[in-house]
């Protein structure tokens, strides 16, 4: 695995795949919540990871769930630019 050059979105995908050994890929538009790739308890760690990789502070109380529902949405909202 490439260490320093792995794009943040791929690190997020890698985190999901590490928790779901039966999966080999996650599509950019796949609903992570409906498909139970992220559940209410892993969600906290998931949001901390996005926060860490993006440098954007995320308030759990005001977070719009739509912003983290797919890898594409995460890319657009937190990792673009």
60 binds other proteins (CB under 8 A): yes
Residue count, binding to other proteins (CB under 8 A): 15
Q: Which of 42, 53, 75, 77 binds other proteins (CB under 8 A)?
A: 42
Reduce the secondary structure of the chain to three states and give it as a string.
CCCCCCCHHHHHHHHHHHHCCCCCCCCCCCCCCCCCCCCCCHHHHHHHHHHHHHCCCCCCCCCCHHHHCCHHHHHHHHHCC
Q: Which of 41, 55, 57, 80 binds other proteins (CB under 8 A)?
A: 41
40 binds other proteins (CB under 8 A): yes
Chain residues binding other proteins by CB under 8 A are 33, 36, 38-45, 59-61, 63, 65
């Amino acid at each position: 695995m490439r260490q320093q050059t792995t794009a943040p979105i791929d690190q997020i995908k890698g985190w999901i795949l590490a928790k779901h050994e039966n999966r080999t890929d996650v599509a950019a538009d796949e609903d992570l919540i409906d498909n139970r790739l992220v559940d209410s308890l892993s969600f906290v760690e998931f949001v901390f990871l996005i926060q860490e990789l993006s440098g954007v502070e995320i308030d759990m109380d005001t977070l719009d769930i739509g912003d983290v529902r797919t890898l594409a949405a995460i890319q657009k909202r937190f990792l673009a630019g």
